[in-house]
Amino acid sequence: MSDETQHFDRKSLRTVTGSTANFAALAADCVCFANATGGHLLIGIEDGAALPPPEQRIDPGLLDKLRKRIGELTVNVQVAPTLACAENGGEYIDLRIGRTATGVASTSDGRYFLRVGDTCQPLRGDDVLHLLSDRPSVPWETLTSLAVKIADADAGKTAALLAAMRASDRVKASVREKSDAELLAHYGLADGQVLTHLGVLLVGTARDRARLGTAPLIQAIKYDEAGQKINKWQWDDYTLSPIELIDAIWQAVPDFHESYELPDGLYRQQLPAYDKRVVRELLVNALVHRPYTQRGDIYLNLHPDRLDIVNPGRLPLGVTPATILHASRRRNERLASLFHDLKLMEKEGSGFDLMYDIQLSQGRAVPVPSEGVDSVLVRLPRRIQRPEVIALMRQADAKFQLSQRERITLGMLAAGEGLTARELTTRLELSSTDDLRNAGWLGRLLDLGLVQSRFKTQATRYFIAPELLKGSGLDGKTTLKRMEPHRLRALIVEDLSRYPGSSSGEVNRRVGTEIPYRTLKRALDDLVGTGAVHHKGEAKGRRYWATAQ
For 5, other C-beta atoms within 10 Å of its C-beta total: 12
Let me know if domain 485-546 sits in CATH 1.10.10.10.
yes
Do the beta carbons of residue 232 and residue 221 sit within 8 Å? Answer: yes
What is the three-class DSSP state of 197? Answer: helix
Do the beta carbons of residue 336 and residue 288 sit within 8 Å? Answer: yes
How many angstroms separate the CA atoms of 369 and 352, rounded?
10
Task: Find the DSSP H helices in 401-457.
Answer: 404-416, 421-427, 435-438
CB proximity list for 110: less than 8 A, separation 6 or greater: none
pTM: predicted TM-score of the whole model, two decimal places: 0.68
How many angstroms separate the CA atoms of 502 and 2, rounded?
65
Q: pLDDT 10s per residue in the chain (549 long)?
A: 345 677 788 899 998 988 888 999 999 999 998 888 788 999 999 877 888 999 999 999 999 999 999 999 998 898 999 999 999 999 999 999 988 866 788 898 889 888 877 788 888 777 777 777 666 556 789 999 999 999 999 999 999 999 999 999 999 999 999 999 999 999 999 999 999 999 999 999 999 999 998 999 999 999 998 899 999 999 999 999 999 999 999 999 999 999 887 766 556 678 899 999 999 999 999 999 888 888 889 999 999 999 999 998 887 766 777 777 666 667 788 999 999 999 998 766 567 888 999 999 888 889 999 988 788 999 999 988 777 788 888 888 888 889 999 999 999 998 877 888 888 988 888 878 888 888 889 999 988 888 988 877 767 889 887 667 665 545 444 345 555 677 788 888 878 887 889 999 888 887 777 688 888 898 999 999 999 999 998 888 899 999 875
What is the three-class DSSP state of 541? Answer: helix
Sequence letter at residue 104: V
Q: Containing H/E element for 497? A: helix 485-498
How many angstroms separate the CA atoms of 63 and 538, rounded?
99
Instruction: Identify the DSSP state of 417.
Output: T
Domain ranges of the chain: 8-134, 140-212, 218-381, 388-472, 485-546
Q: At what angle do helices 276-289 and 242-252 cross, to 10 degrees?
A: 140
Do the beta carbons of residue 250 and residue 276 sit within 8 Å? Answer: yes
How many angstroms separate the CA atoms of 201 and 212, rounded?
8
Same fold, 388-472 and 485-546: yes
pLDDT of residue 134: 65
Do the beta carbons of residue 289 and residue 314 sit within 8 Å? Answer: no
Instruction: Identify the DSSP state of 5.
Output: B
pLDDT of residue 267: 60
Fold of 218-381: Heat Shock Protein 90 (3.30.565)
Alpha carbon of residue 212 to chain centroid: 29
Fold of 8-134: 3.30.950
Looking at the chain, how many residues does it have? Answer: 549
For 443, other C-beta atoms within 10 Å of its C-beta total: 22
Strands 119-123, 112-116: parallel, antiparallel or unpaired by DSSP?
Answer: antiparallel
CATH says 388-472 is which class? mainly alpha
What is the three-class DSSP state of 330? Answer: coil
Strands (E), 447-548: 451-454, 461-464, 533-536, 543-546
CB proximity list for 463: less than 8 A, separation 6 or greater: 413, 417, 418, 419, 451, 452, 453, 454
What is the three-class DSSP state of 178? Answer: coil
